[in-house]
Amino acid sequence: MAENVSRLCAVITEETIDAARAAMMRAATVADIIEIRLDYLTDFDFSNELSLHTLLDNKTHPVIITCRAMSEGGKQFIDDRVRLRLLVEGARRLADYCDIEADHYQQAATYLPDISRLIVSYHNFDETPADLGAIYDRVTALPAAVHKIVTRAKTIDDSLAILRLLEVAKSDGRNLIAVGMGSPGAATRVLSPSRGGFLTYCALDHGKESAPGQFRCDELSDTYHIQRISETTEITGIIGNPVMHSASPAMHNRAFEELHLDLVYLPFEVADLGQFVRRFVRPETRELNWNLRGLSVTIPYKSDVIPLLDEVDSTASEVGAVNTVVIAEGKLLGFNTDIQGAIEPLARTCALEGESCGVIGSGGAAKAIIYGLIKSGARVTVFARDPAKARNLSNAFGVSVRTLDSIERSEVPVLINTTPAGMRDHSEGSSPIPAAWLAGRKIVYDLVYNPQETRLITDARKAGCHTIGGLDMLVAQGALQFELWTGRQPPVAAMREAALAHLRRK
Q: Which residues are catalytic?
A: 302
Measured CA to CA, the distance from residue 212 to residue 402 in angstroms comes to: 42
Q: Partners of 335 in the beta sheet?
A: 324
Provide the sign of the torsion angle of the four alpha carbons 187, 193, 197, 202, taken in this order.
positive
Cα(97)–Cα(79) distance, integer angstroms: 21
Considering all CA atoms of the chain, what is the largest pairwise distance in Å, rounded to the nearest integer? 83
What are the phi and psi torsion angles at 156 (to 5°)?
A: -65, -20
Q: Where are the beta strands (DSSP E) in 228-355?
A: 234-240, 263-269, 291-297, 311-312, 324-328, 331-335
CA neighbor of 448 nearest in space, from 416, 477, 413, 480: 416
- Asked if residues 262 and 229 have their Cβ atoms less than 8 Å apart, the reply is no
> Alpha-carbon distance 215 to 351, whole Å?
43
List CB contacts of 403: < 8 A, sequence separation 6 or more.
383, 384, 385, 387
Q: How far apart are CA 6 and CA 1, in angstroms?
A: 13
Please state, as a whole number, how many other Cβ atoms lie within 10 Å of the Cβ of residue 299: 16
92's enclosing H/E stretch is helix 80-93
* CA distances to 27, 211, 237 from 14, in Å: 12, 14, 33
